[in-house]
Amino acid sequence: MEPTRIFDFISYQLQNSPLEKSIGHHHQGKWTYYSTQEVYDAVQKCSRGLLSLGIKRNEKIGLIAYKNRPEWLIMDLAIQQIGGIVVPIYPTISSKEYEYIFNDAGISYAFVGDNDLYDKVETAAPQISTYIKTYTFDKQDGRPYWEEIWTDEGADKVKEIADSIKSDELATIIYTSGTTGNPKGVMLSHSNIVNNAFGVKEILPIASGKTALSFLPICHIFERTAALTYIYLGISIVFTGTDNLGGEDGDLRKIKPHFFTTVPRLLEKVYEKIYNKGLELEGAKKKLFFWALGMTDDYEYNDTYGGLSGIKRSIADKLIFSKWREALGGNVEGILTGAAPCPAKMLRVFSGAGIPVREGYGLTETSPGLTMGRFINNQSKIGTVGPALKGVEILIDASEGEYLEGEGEILARGKNIMMGYYNKPEKTAEVMKEIDGKTWFCTGDIGKFVTDTNGHNHLKITDRKKELLKTSGGKYVAPAPIESKLKEDFLVEQVMVVGDKQKFVSALIVPSPDALKNFCKDCSIPWTSFDEVIQSKHVISKYQEIIDKANPDFSHIEQIKKFALLATTWDPNKEDGSDAELTPTLKLKRRVITKKYQNDIAKIYA
C-alpha cells in the first residue's frame, strides 16, 4: 500500500525493500547503521513513550540538531504517528528567535542534539508559557535522555491514533528563515509533503540498493523531503555534516555515495579546491589540467561529441576528470542543487566532468519542489531549473508589475502547496491569488519559460520580485543574475548588487580569502592583512577585470559601474544571530547588509 502519511514511509520500506543499512551516521568515532527493522522499532518505542508523557494530538514538539542524525528522523516520524506537530528549528539562530518560535508555535517539549543546544533551549524556557521539558539525543549527566521515554506499553493506542490520522491533517510547522522580520510558520500537511516526494521519486537517477549522503540541514524541507524519497525508493541514507566532506579522509571518499543534494556554495567550494590544486601543478601537468578544464566551458547537457572532439574529451576524462570523480567517492550518479541560484559555470564544470548536476526550484511553502532538471537527456537545460514536477502547475503572471517580454511572477498550484502560515491568516491571504476560479500561490520570484529544441518547457528564474532595484532614472534592475555571474569567479566569495534610487548600479564584493591569498602569492603581492591587501592597486585591478568580463552579458543600465571590496565574511552564524548577513539557507539578507555597510555604499555614490 502506497504511503499517504509521512510516517507510512518507513513501514513501506519495511514491507517492500528492507535494508540492513537503512540509516547511518558517524557517532563516537565509528560509523553506525540502523536496519529498516531497527528504525521502525525505534519509531514505535518513541511513539509509545511520547504518549506516556501525556502528549496529545496537535501538540507542538521542537526538533533541533547541528548535524543530521538518525535520532532526528526517528523522532520526526514518531511524533507524527501520534498526531503531534513537528517544529524543526535551525540550531544556529539567536536565542531571541528561539524564544519567538517556541512562543508562536506553543511548543511544549523539545528534543535536541549536542553542544550548546540544551543550554540555549533551557535559557529561553522561562519566557515560554507552554514549555515543559527538554530531552537530549546524547547521554549527558543531569540531562534527560531521549531513550528514557521509550516503552513497550501502549502499542494498541499508537495504532489507534495512527489509523485515524488523515493525509490532509497538519504534520509540521516550518519557520522560514525570512530575510527580514520575524520568521513565518509554514504549515504543511502529510499530503503536501507526500505528494512532493512522489513527484521527485520518479526522476531521481538512482534506485534501491544505492546510497545517498545527507548533509544539508534536515530541518529544512529540501533535505527532509529528499530523505522520505530515499526511504520510499529503498536507498540507504548516511547522515553527516559539511565539515568533513572533502579531502583524502573525507566522508565522500569513505561513503562513496551515488547521490546527494547540495547548495551552490558548496559546489563552488569544491570547484575552488579543484582549481587551486590545478594552480599548484607545474609544467605539462598544469597545462593538461587547464586544457581539460577548458573543455567544460561550452558544455551543454544534451550535446554528443564524436570525431576529434570526442577523442579529446575521452583523453581529458581519463587523465583529469576521473580523478575529480574519485575525489567525490567515484560512484556519484547525480547531484541535485537547490535553495539558491546555481551559476551556470558550476553546472557545466561538474556535468562536463561526468558528475551530473541538476538544479531544482521550490520554496518551503511548496514542500518544497516545483521544478527540477531531469537526469535523462533532452529534459534538462543549463540556465533553467527544469520542467514542473508531476502534479505541479506553473503560471507566469505579468498582470501586476513591469516585466520584460515573456516574464512575470511565478505562480504555482498543486497538492504540495502549504495549508497557510500559522497564526497569520492575513499573511496567507497576501500570497494567494485567484485567477479564473483557481487559487494560485505567489512565489515572489520572477521567471519565464524557455523551450528547448525538443519542445520541453523549462522554467528560468530571473529574479525576486521584491528584490528588484529601481534606479533614479526609473529603470528596473534584477540583481540576482548579476550576482550569480560575478560569483562564477573563484575570487568572489559573496556579492550584493546595490543601486536602488541611485543613478547607476554598483556592487559590494566579499573576496574569497583562500583564492585571494593564492592570487597574491602568484603575483608576488605581500599578504599583510585582509584589510590592507584589498586596498592594493593590483588586487583592485583584478576585481575590475572580473567586473569588466561580466558586464557585457547585461544591458547598459544593469552593468556594474563601481564596486567596494569588503574585508569580512558573510555567514548565517553570528554570535547573536541578529546581524547575520545570510539566512540559514545562505540567501542574502539585503536589508541587513545595506544597513551594515551603509558607509561603504555612501562612499561609492559620494
Backbone angles phi, psi at 369, to 5 degrees: -75, 135
Give 292-324 pLDDT, tens digit per residue: 999 999 899 887 888 888 898 899 999 999 999
Between 507 and 465, the higher pLDDT residue: 507
Residue 178 pLDDT class (50, 70, 90 cuts): low
* DSSP secondary structure letters along 201-251: HTT-S--TT-EEEE-S-TTSHHHHHHHHHHHHHTPEEEE--STTSSSTTSH
Span 468-604: which CATH code? 3.30.300.30
Residue pair 175/345 in contact (Cβ under 8 Å)? The answer is no
Which stretches of 317-451 are DSSP H helices?
A: 322-327, 344-352, 425-430
Residue 425 pLDDT class (50, 70, 90 cuts): very high
Residue 585 confidence (pLDDT) above 80: no
Segment 75-100 shows an average pLDDT of 92
The predicted pLDDT at position 324 comes to 92
The predicted pLDDT at position 583 comes to 79
The predicted pLDDT at position 279 comes to 87
Residue 265 confidence (pLDDT) above 90: no
The predicted pLDDT at position 275 comes to 87
Residue 65 confidence (pLDDT) above 90: yes
Residue 343 confidence (pLDDT) above 90: no
Task: Please tell me the number of Cα atoms within 13 Å of 5 on its side-chain side.
Answer: 25
Per DSSP, the three-state class of 192 is: helix
Residues in the chain: 606
C-alpha distances in Å from residue 120, one per residue of 94, 95, 126:
9, 7, 12
Of the chain, the percentage scoring pLDDT greater than 90 comes to 71
Residue 579 confidence (pLDDT) above 70: yes
The whole-angstrom separation of Cα 112 and Cα 115 is: 9
The predicted pLDDT at position 54 comes to 96
Q: Where are the domains of the chain?
A: 8-165+202-260, 468-604
Segment 384-410 shows an average pLDDT of 92
- Answer yes or no: CATH 3.40.50.12780 is held by domain 8-165+202-260: yes
Residue 402 confidence (pLDDT) above 80: no
Rg (CA), the chain: 25
The predicted pLDDT at position 214 comes to 97
The predicted pLDDT at position 96 comes to 79
Cβ-defined contacts of 255-258 (< 8 Å, 24+)? 255/211, 255/213, 255/329, 256/211, 256/329, 256/330, 256/331, 257/211, 257/212, 257/213, 257/329, 257/331, 257/332, 258/206, 258/210, 258/211, 258/212, 258/331, 258/332, 258/333, 258/334
* Torsion-angle region of 553 (φ positive above 0: left; ψ -120 to 50: alpha; else: beta): alpha
Segment 10-39 shows an average pLDDT of 95
The predicted pLDDT at position 547 comes to 96
Backbone angles phi, psi at 260, to 5 degrees: -160, 160
Segment 63-68 shows an average pLDDT of 95
Give 323-334 pLDDT, tens digit per residue: 999 999 999 999
User: Residue 443: what residue type?
Assistant: T
Residue 375 pLDDT class (50, 70, 90 cuts): very high
Residue 181 pLDDT class (50, 70, 90 cuts): low
The predicted pLDDT at position 177 comes to 65
User: Residue 6: what residue type?
Assistant: I
Of the chain, the percentage scoring pLDDT greater than 70 comes to 98
Residue 317 DSSP symbol:
I
This prediction's pTM: 0.84
Q: 8-165+202-260 and 468-604 share one CATH topology?
A: no
Residue pair 292/319 in contact (Cβ under 8 Å)? The answer is yes
Give 351-370 pLDDT, tens digit per residue: 999 999 999 999 999 999 99
Residue 145 DSSP symbol:
B
The predicted pLDDT at position 27 comes to 84
The predicted pLDDT at position 11 comes to 98
The predicted pLDDT at position 379 comes to 83
The whole-angstrom separation of Cα 280 and Cα 467 is: 40
Give 111-148 pLDDT, tens digit per residue: 999 889 999 999 999 999 999 999 999 998 889 999 99
Residue 497 confidence (pLDDT) above 90: yes
Span of 40-44, 95-99, 139-143, 239-243 with lowest mean pLDDT: 95-99
